[in-house]
Structure 1
């Protein structure tokens, strides 16, 4: 069996980019019976055999090329060298490398992607801007002009903003890391109130009621 089986090119990778990991098998013979299996978690990703006529010990390498995806962040990858001899039960046991834990860098994505709208004062008392990302995102809030004094002591680097929210306007949360930025907008609306038309109608109705009441009193007095 080989003297050693090890991995190379073990660095953080960026989502969407291709990357390669190399498996080095040192001093193995006969190489024509060598197969290398690549594992990720419980899956076999690929295998490779070598057409070698040399019977003496040689060193071989196998390269695995993948495209990075955020779902692979934290996954374990390793290679395994095996001599395929016959009968199989008389062959040596396979030798595996140490596992490499993938680190995939990717930009923030809001857990709740859509922007939100709510009314005052019936709306929620929490605005949540939680996002996933690697590295972990940092957060920054911006408030409507009228609310800036009220929220000056709030931790603007925290993903959750607590109410009550007394001022209408757009509350903006930005989550960012070394890979990118995502922004979420929370529109807080003023609840519908009594407009000028409604006030005028109420005033006219009140005047009519007063006039009618005075008229009734006047007729009673004349009797």
Structure 2
């Protein structure tokens, strides 16, 4: 074959390949907008461009049938031409004059032996019907929450609580899941047995629409249902007088908050011997809690105040007593939790009852010799570093607790002994300093501390076996050469 023939064949092949690339079957991208599906009942058109002007273009529906070119059909193809650089290329417009869920699936555009596929998703979005979004029931009773959604594909109902799916296995003694068919479709039922106050809250009904032909064609919608459980008021800490510290001639807030539904109403009383003197309601705030503000004086210290919380299901009372606030008690002990190269972890404890709020803790520390016996005087700690911890314990006093406050002293010197003392303070005053605690930081670990004898031993054995094996090979080689000479 001559050179010019080869060039001609190469040129013709290149033209054909390039022509094929330029005129492949092309389908314009589907634009669903802000969602991922077409809604039923709308009109949509999709253009497919053919290979060349001599090749017929046709659309094939998901069932394998060729789409007719008749404008009277609900789904039809309409031919038109798309301009190109050299000529007009045929194109076929797929028109869905009124979309239905049955249009969901894989559609194919083909031109000769070339074809391209596109997925179409059509959904009739679910709407929640005959579903109450707020339900009230009495404690101890059982209640059935109902949720119904209507749409195409047929919605599947799922119940959630705090983001978790509720099933028959979630808590069989508490929840029961059922499904019922009505004239409007399937209804999802959630029965909650033996209601208590913890059952109050938001339950979510989820509608899940899935198309078996095209799994990615799906839609989830949620509806919240709020359940209120009626129950009488109660205080989380019952039958216990609330002791409230107060500073003389300053106001003290007595805060009363009870659980209950409907929300309790509050009334305040002053205990005078065997009589109760009620405070005007204007002096308190009645919403989710009630606050009675008292000016602490010598006459109010030791005085008892009663908060009464009521709703239609019951009444409960709580007693408050104001006592004179003083400075914090001296810390019982300073415990060294752990020691490192440059820091010490400590815990500060009070073994006795903590009667007053603690607003601040001061920790003083300084280097000292192991044998030093510092008495904790101001002179001993005149050049000490100070660390401060704020907002330690400002409410829920009095109380008894151990090891309640932790701290870490940082940037210390290695292998050094430190003397430590602690005190607490509040608005009224400062506690005495704790007894002095002594602790030492540790030594820094170096590579010399990690010599590995077993590795050395293994290396020595390996070296020995290597020499032994080499010598054995040498002896065998010499014996073999000697044998050859004898032969």
TM-score by length of 1: 0.56
Conservation of the 8 A alpha-carbon contact between 2:159 and 2:205: yes
State the Cα distance separating 1:150 from its structure 2 match.
11
Conservation of the 8 A alpha-carbon contact between 2:267 and 2:281: no
Residue in 1 aligned with 2:131?
Answer: 8
Partner of 2:166: helix, strand, or coil? Answer: strand
CA distance 1:106–1:7, change in 2 (3 Å): farther
Query: How is 1:44-59 mapped onto 2 (pairs within 5 angstroms)?
Result: 44-46=165-167, 59=185
Query: How is 1:1-223 mapped onto 2 (pairs within 5 angstroms)?
Result: 4-6=127-129, 8-9=131-132, 10-26=134-150, 35-46=156-167, 59-67=185-193, 68-83=195-210, 85=212, 88-89=215-216, 92-116=217-241, 125-145=252-272, 155=283, 158-164=290-296, 166=299, 170-186=304-320
Q: Give distance in 2, aligned partners of 1:51 and 1:133.
A: 34
Conservation of the 8 A alpha-carbon contact between 1:7 and 1:98: no
Q: Give distance in 1, aligned partners of 2:185 and 2:283.
A: 57
Q: How many residues align?
A: 180
The RMSD of aligned alpha carbons is 4.5
State the Cα distance separating 1:60 from its structure 2 match.
1.8
Conservation of the 8 A alpha-carbon contact between 1:6 and 1:98: no
Deviates more, 1:142-151 or 1:4-13: 142-151
Q: Give distance in 2, aligned partners of 1:150 and 1:12.
A: 33
State the Cα distance separating 1:108 from its structure 2 match.
2.1
Q: Give distance in 1, aligned partners of 2:206 and 2:282.
A: 50
Conservation of the 8 A alpha-carbon contact between 1:111 and 1:130: no
CA distance 1:161–1:182, change in 2 (3 Å): farther
Conservation of the 8 A alpha-carbon contact between 1:28 and 1:59: no
Flag the structure with more relative contact order, 1 or 2, with Cα contacts below 8 A and sequence separation at least 6.
1
Q: Give distance in 1, aligned partners of 2:138 and 2:255.
A: 27
Q: Give distance in 2, aligned partners of 1:175 and 1:2.
A: 47
Deviations 1:19-44 (A, max 9, x none): 11112244666x7xx64211223111
- Specify the structure having the higher radius of gyration (Cα): 2
Q: Give distance in 2, aligned partners of 1:14 and 1:5.
A: 26
Q: Give distance in 1, aligned partners of 2:158 and 2:261.
A: 29
Q: Give distance in 2, aligned partners of 1:153 and 1:96.
A: 46
Q: Give distance in 2, aligned partners of 1:3 and 1:150.
A: 56
Q: Give distance in 2, aligned partners of 1:185 and 1:121.
A: 16
Q: Give distance in 2, aligned partners of 1:74 and 1:51.
A: 24
State the Cα distance separating 1:98 from its structure 2 match.
2.7
Conservation of the 8 A alpha-carbon contact between 2:156 and 2:209: yes
Unaligned residue ranges in structure 1 (runs of 5+) = 190-223
State the Cα distance separating 1:152 from its structure 2 match.
6.8
Deviations 1:163-214 (A, max 9, x none): 436266643221112332211134679xxxxxxxxxxxxxxxxxxxxxxxxx
